[in-house]
Structures are given as C-alpha cells and as structure tokens.
C-alpha cells in the first residue's frame, strides 16, 4: 500500500526543486537518483529526457513530464486540511509532479512489499508545457514499450482523457515600410495596421464545442514616431473534429491571401504548423480495458471525458504507443490556486501500483 507520509514528502521535496520548462536539469538529476534507487538502468537521451528501463519482456511505459509553468520558482508547498497548496505567489507544480510522485510511490511500495509486477519503462520528459518538445524529441529507439499510462490529467486519477484535439500553430510576419511619422507618413506602410486588420478578420475564442481559436502574441514597431515597418503575431487553433479543422485552416489561409491582395506593397508571410494530432480513445484497447478495470476494482468510477489540451500522449501515440492519460490529483493547474488533494494523490499511487501488479 502506498505510504501517504512518504508520498506527500516526496511530492513536496520535488516541487521545491525549480523546473520551469527548459530548466529541468536539477529535477532530472533528482529523478535519475530516485529511479536508480528503485533498481532501474537510467539513461538520458540526447534531448535530456529521463528514460528508465529494466530487463524483462514487453514493458508498460509510465510517463509524466518534469517541467512546470510560471510562476513556478521558489515554490513553498504547505498542507491545508487534506490539500497541498502553494503560498499563493506561485503555482504548486502538481502538474506534473503529482504524477511523477505517484509513479515513484507506486514502484516503491511494490518493491517494499516484494510484489510481482510487469516489466516497466519510465519516461520523464522535458518541455511538455512549451509544445510537447520533450516527447517530440524523445529517442524512440530507446523505448521498447507499446503501451503507456501517462499521468498528466486534471483531477482524480479516474479522470481519463477520452479525446484530445489537433493543434495548429501559426506565425505571421508583416513587412511594411518605415517613414517619419510627422514629416512624411505618406511614404510609410504601417505593418501594425495591417497586422491588426488581419487579426480582426480571424475567428476568435470558442468556435464550437470542440474548436477554439486564439491569437496569443503580437509585437511590432520600434519607436513612437516612425511608421512601423515590422509586425509579427502568433496564434493557434485546435479542434477534435478533422473536418472543422480543415475548413478553419482554409478560412485562415483565405484571410491571409485577401490581406496580401489588399496590401500588395507589403509582404505578409504566414506559417501554419500542426504541432500535435488529435486522438479519440478506443475503449477496446487492451490498455484502456486494464486501466478502467483497475479503477473499478478500487471503487473509482472511470470518468472518461474529452480535453481541450494536448499531452505527451498526443505525440507518443503517433509513434505507435497506445496511451491512456489519467488524472494526477492536481486541480486548477497553471494558476496560483493550484492544489493537490492528498487522498486523490494516494489513490493515484495505489492505482499505479495496481496497474503494474494486475498487468499480465
């Protein structure tokens, strides 16, 4: 059985090791030590992802990410009733360290009790929060597993991600012409005006139940008194419906094309890129069946629902690994109000333990 005190301590220790995206080195070293202590052969791939392996047959992959969002430095976890919270100035880092802690506790309690379990690989990735960078750059030649449980969902462990969208990112660069704003504005072409015209033509917000659109950044100009020659903006749209996505993509391209015609003296470059692909969980997959059965045995009713976000699972599935994303017991992720419910955290560790002992 998971040891609650050890689990809470392990979690609190880990969130105190700063690991904003791209600065995961300290926590990676901590995790290498922990995994070696559990008896694994631990390697880092060229990107710095942590990969733990062992001898034996076809392993099950347990996965979570090491990085956290901002404000996530100097986290001071505290216990309030049955919750772990931050001091209110930072996130807690339960996303995804609650998942990491639950995996390690599950493995530790199996070891302590001398239980038999299936062979395991563990992957802790970098840069999940900045576009699934770690999973994208993961050295898949080092991964033998074909099935994975990814601990990166919101809420209790029995919250299973049933569907996840395709995510298209875009970057637009507008080049106009600079001119003195007071002396000869007629000679200028304002890149900022053009960019704002384009943005005002684009869709925005929630477009339907499974589709959203956002322009997230904008930059341009150099000084107050010059017609700006440069402007850039970036955005993203996502949907769990392929048809909607294709139509949206055509709409967006049409807006850019129209702007190119309207502002023929300016240069408007756009780049659209699919950053990750959607999936719908198949309830008949072996790993889905195993996960839901183990939950039911723990009296946790599997709560399968769609998500608007992506996780490493979107990328891993593309590499032929059947993944189920389960809750990691954290709530209000990416905010300073983030909290982990301790009984949920314990359940997550017990779930991990039971999956590994139940899998043939």
To Zn ion, the closest distance from the beta carbon of 152 in angstroms equals 4
Q: What is the dihedral of CA 38, 139, 46, 92, to 10 degrees?
A: -60
Residues 246-275, one symbol each (x = binds Zn ion by CB under 5 A, - = not), give ------------------------------
Residues 37-76, one symbol each (x = binds Zn ion by CB under 5 A, - = not), give ----------------------------------------
Backbone angles phi, psi at 39, to 5 degrees: 100, 10
| Residues 223, 227, 230, 236, CA torsion sign | positive
Nearest partner of 43 among 146, 147, 143, 145, judged by Cα? 143
Q: Which of 96, 123, 227, 281 binds Zn ion (CB under 5 A)?
A: 96
Active site residue 312: no
Contact 72, 93 (CB under 8 A): yes
DSSP 98-165: HHHHHHHHHHHHHHHHT-----EEEEEES-GGGTSHHHHH--GGG---SEEEEEEESSSTTEEEEEE-
Find the binding residues for Zn ion in span 283-342 (CB under 5 A).
none
Q: One of 24, 45, 95, 128 is an active-site residue; which one?
A: 128
User: Which token pair is 53?
Assistant: 């392996």
Contact 16, 75 (CB under 8 A): yes
SS3 32: helix
Nearer to Zn ion, 10 or 125 (CB): 125
To Zn ion, the closest distance from the beta carbon of 91 in angstroms equals 11
Nearer to Zn ion, 172 or 313 (CB): 313
User: Which token pair is 351?
Assistant: 């779930």
Active site residue 112: no
Backbone angles phi, psi at 142, to 5 degrees: -90, -5
Q: Contact region for Zn ion (CB under 5 A) — 80-88, 95-103, 186-194, 196-204? A: 95-103
How far is it, in rounded angstroms, from Cα 75 to Cα 85?
A: 10
Find the binding residues for Zn ion in span 135-164 (CB under 5 A).
152
Nearer to Zn ion, 96 or 104 (CB): 96
To Zn ion, the closest distance from the beta carbon of 251 in angstroms equals 30
Find the binding residues for Zn ion in span 98-117 (CB under 5 A).
none
Q: Which of 24, 67, 95, 105 binds Zn ion (CB under 5 A)?
A: 95
To Zn ion, the closest distance from the beta carbon of 330 in angstroms equals 9
Nearer to Zn ion, 231 or 333 (CB): 333
Q: Tell me how long the chain is.
A: 360
To Zn ion, the closest distance from the beta carbon of 336 in angstroms equals 16
Contact residues: Zn ion, CB under 5 A: 95-96, 152
Positions marked catalytic: 67, 128
């Amino acid at each position: 059985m998971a040891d609650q005190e050890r689990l809470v301590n392990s979690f609190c220790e880990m969130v105190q090791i700063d690991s904003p995206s791209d600065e995961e080195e300290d926590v990676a070293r901590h995790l290498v030590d922990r995994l070696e202590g559990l008896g694994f052969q631990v390697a880092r791939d060229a990107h710095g992802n942590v990969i733990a392996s062992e001898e034996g047959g076809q392993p099950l992959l347990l996965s979570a990410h090491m990085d956290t969002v901002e404000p996530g430095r100097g986290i001071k976890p505290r216990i309030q009733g049955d919750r772990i919270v931050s001091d209110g100035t930072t996130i807690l880092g339960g996303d995804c360290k609650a998942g990491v802690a639950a995996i390690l506790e599950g493995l530790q309690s199996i070891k302590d009790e001398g239980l038999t379990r299936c062979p395991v690989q563990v992957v802790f990735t970098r840069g999940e929060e900045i576009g699934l960078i770690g999973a994208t750059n993961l050295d898949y030649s080092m991964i033998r597993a074909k099935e994975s449980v990814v601990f990166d969902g919101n809420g209790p462990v029995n919250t299973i991600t049933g569907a996840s969208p395709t995510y298209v990112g875009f970057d637009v660069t507008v080049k106009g012409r600079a001119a003195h704003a007071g002396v000869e504005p007629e000679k200028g072409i304002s890149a900022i005006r053009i960019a704002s015209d384009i943005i005002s033509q684009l869709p925005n917000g929630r477009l339907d139940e499974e589709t959203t659109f956002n322009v997230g950044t904008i930059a341009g100009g150099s000084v107050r008194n010059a017609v700006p020659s440069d402007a850039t903006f970036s955005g993203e749209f996502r949907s769990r419906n392929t048809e909607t996505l294709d139509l949206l993509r055509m709409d967006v391209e049409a807006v850019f094309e129209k702007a190119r015609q309207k502002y023929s003296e300016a240069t408007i470059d756009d780049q659209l890129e699919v950053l990750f692909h959607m999936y719908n969980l198949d309830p008949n997959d072996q790993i889905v069946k195993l996960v839901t059965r183990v939950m039911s045995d723990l009296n946790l009713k599997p709560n399968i629902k769609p998500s608007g976000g992506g996780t490493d699972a979107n990328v891993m599935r593309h590499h032929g690994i059947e993944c189920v994303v389960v809750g990691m017991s954290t709530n209000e992720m990416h905010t300073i109000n983030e909290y982990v419910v301790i009984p949920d955290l314990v359940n997550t560790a017990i779930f991990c333990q039971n999956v590994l002992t139940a899998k043939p």
